[in-house]
Amino acid sequence: MYCRHCGSAFGEAAVICVRCGAPKGEGTVYCPNCAAQTQPGATVCLGCGGPLAKPQPDTAGGTQTAAIVSLVTGILSILCCSVFVGLPCGIAAIICAKKAKQKTGVMGPMELAGLICGIVGTVFSGLFIIVTIIYYIAFGVLIFSQVASESSEYLRVLAFRLMA
Ligand SMILES: [Zn+2]
Ligand SMILES: [Zn+2]
């Protein structure tokens, strides 16, 4: 057993390092098994392959943020279901919910709500886009047919005049 902070030998029963005073297992510089230097945040020693103390879970805050972002963007995507707001918000909500779930391994109620809102918002926005496209196509066809009938009318009048 070695001090993770200074790499000096550490008594099995010792609670703090006699050389540097670091608590047992504290530090990220040395492997507790072989005293090889380790990278901060590494979970496995490159010298002996032994497990290193896991870094403090600092992802809890990030997970909470992702869940909140997921929920907010999910609700936004439903409220403003359109091409410019609803679709990006809905997709962002789904991604954030998945990120939050990846970090914790379980789907919390907030992530779940965000995910559902995101899916609903994305589907609504998708439908909105499809309806808009159909509307414009129908409008375009209408205008075109009107123009076509008007021009054919004009051609007929022209033909009558030429014949007369
Ligand atoms: Zn030490
Ligand atoms: Zn080691």
Ligand 1: centre distance to CA 58 (Å): 24
- Same-domain pairing of 154 and 95: yes
> Is the separation of the CB atoms in 34 and 42 below 8 Å?
no
Which ligand lies nearest to the CA atom of residue 1 in the structure?
2
- Same-domain pairing of 92 and 107: yes
Q: Which residues surround ligand 1, an ion (CB under 5 A)?
A: 3, 5-6, 17, 19-20, 22
Ligand 2: centre distance to CA 49 (Å): 6
Rounded to an integer, what distance in angstroms lies between the CA atom of residue 91 and that of residue 85? Answer: 10
- Same-domain pairing of 98 and 126: yes
Ligand 1: centre distance to CA 47 (Å): 19
Joined tokens for residue 138? 């129908």
**Which parts of the chain sit beneath pLDDT 50?**
none
- Same-domain pairing of 74 and 154: yes
Tokens 């997970």 belong to which residue?
63
pLDDT of amino acid 81: 61
Quickly list DSSP for 57-81: -THHHHHHHHHHHHHHHHHHHHHT-
Which range marks the domain in which residue 132 is found? 59-163
pLDDT of amino acid 36: 92
- Phi and psi of 138, rounded to 5°? -60, -45
Rounded to an integer, what distance in angstroms lies between the CA atom of residue 131 and that of residue 112? Answer: 28
Domain count, the chain: 2
pLDDT of amino acid 60: 55
> Is the separation of the CB atoms in 74 and 121 below 8 Å?
yes
